[in-house]
């Protein structure tokens, strides 16, 4: 039994401590917005916040996540109105959408730490996340918009 603090709530998860956080979120807590892309820390589809830091949830065990505040895409805002989510809609970023929870979580963490990132800082930070559909140009635009409007 591992206790996880996710999106401001406490959950008891009946799994071994070496279970990757990604699968506990998806299959035990049914928070499906966090996606499985590679399981290898190479794509960022599984990005969540651990104490405010963008983290690959496939690379962290629930044992290590215990005691931290975990935020998933479902907890970023109550109603989808986080400034990054709004900018994502205005710039019409998603195509297939599969990578986008991770992109949004990474962008939100970036802006929380660096409210006015330069273009180079945006590119450097977002390089951790792949988007096979090729929405990169719009991701940059949406982050710049969110920085302005945030």
Partner 1 sequence: MTMQTINATRRDFLKGSGALSFALLATGGVAVLPSAAEAQPLPDGKVNAWVTITPDNRVTIMFGSAEMGQGVSTSLPMIVAEELDADWSMVASQQVSTDPEGVYGNPMAGGILFAAGSSSIEGYFTYLRQAGAQARQILIQIAAAHWAVPAEEVTTRSGTLHHDPSGSSMTYGEVAALPEPAWPSGEMADATLKPRTDWTIIGTDVERLDIPAKTTGATEYSIDVDLPNMVHAALLLPPVEGEIPTLTSDTAARAIDGVVDVIVMDHAVAVLARNFPAALAGRDALDVSWTETSPYRHANSEDELIALSGAVDDMSADAVVWESRGDGQVDFTGANVFTGNYTTEHVYHAQMEPLNAVASVDADGMGAEIWLGTQSQTASIMIAAAVLGTTPDRIRFHAMQMGGAFGRRTVFAREQMRDALLLSRASGRPVKVVWTREDDVKNGWLRPATVHRLDAVLDAEGCPTALRHRVASPSIFQFAMPDRWNPETRLDLLVMEGAESSDYAFGTFQAEHVLVPRQSRLSAWRGIGWAPNCFARECFLDELAERTGSDPVSYRRRLLAGSPRALAVLDAAVEMSDFGNAPEGRAHGLAFAGYKKTLATGVAEVSYEDGQLRVHRFWTAIDPGIVIHPQAYRAQVEGGILFGLSSVLRERSTFSGGRIDQSNFYDYEPIRISEIPEMEVQFVDSGEPPSGGGEIGVPMTAPAIANAVRKLTGAAQRHLPFPGRA
Out of partner 1, ligand FES, none, what residue 127 binds, judged by CB under 5 to 8 A for its kind, is partner 1
CB of 92 vs partner 1, minimal distance in Å: 6
Which residues sit at the interface with ligand FES, rule CB under 6 A?
Answer: 36-39, 41-46, 56, 58, 94-100, 131-133, 135
- The answer to whether the Cα torsion of 113, 118, 120, 123 is positive or negative is positive
Catalogue the E-assigned strands of 51-122.
Answer: 53-56, 69-71
Out of ligand FES, partner 1, none, what residue 46 binds, judged by CB under 5 to 8 A for its kind, is ligand FES
Q: CA 71 to CA 49: how far, in whole Å? A: 5
Q: Closest CB to ligand FES among 45 and 115?
A: 45
Out of ligand FES, partner 1, none, what residue 16 binds, judged by CB under 5 to 8 A for its kind, is partner 1
Three-state SS for 8? Answer: coil
Percent of the chain as helix, strand, coil, to the nearest 5? 40, 15, 45
Q: CA 117 to CA 147: how far, in whole Å? A: 8
Which residues sit at the interface with partner 1, rule CB under 8 A?
Answer: 15-16, 19-20, 23, 26-28, 30-40, 42-43, 45, 72-74, 80, 85, 88-89, 92-101, 104, 123-124, 126-127, 129-140
Q: Sheet holding 2-6: strands in order across?
A: 9-13, 2-6, 69-71, 47-50, 53-56
Out of ligand FES, partner 1, none, what residue 28 binds, judged by CB under 5 to 8 A for its kind, is partner 1
CB of 8 vs ligand FES, minimal distance in Å: 23
């Amino acid at each position: 039994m591992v206790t996880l603090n996710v999106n401001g709530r406490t959950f008891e998860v009946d799994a071994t401590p070496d279970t990757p956080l990604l699968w506990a979120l998806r299959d035990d807590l049914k928070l499906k917005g966090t996606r499985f892309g590679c399981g290898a820390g190479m794509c960022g589809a599984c990005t969540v916040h651990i104490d405010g830091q963008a983290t690959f949830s496939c690379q962290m065990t629930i044992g290590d996540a215990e005691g931290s505040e975990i935020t998933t895409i479902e907890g970023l805002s109550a109603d989808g109105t986080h400034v990054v989510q709004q900018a994502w809609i205005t710039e019409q970023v998603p195509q297939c959408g599969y990578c986008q929870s991770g992109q949004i979580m990474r962008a939100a963490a970036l802006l929380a730490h660096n409210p006015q990132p330069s273009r180079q800082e945006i590119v450097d930070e977002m390089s951790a996340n792949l988007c096979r559909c090729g929405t990169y140009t719009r991701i940059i635009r949406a982050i710049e918009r969110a920085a302005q409007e945030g």
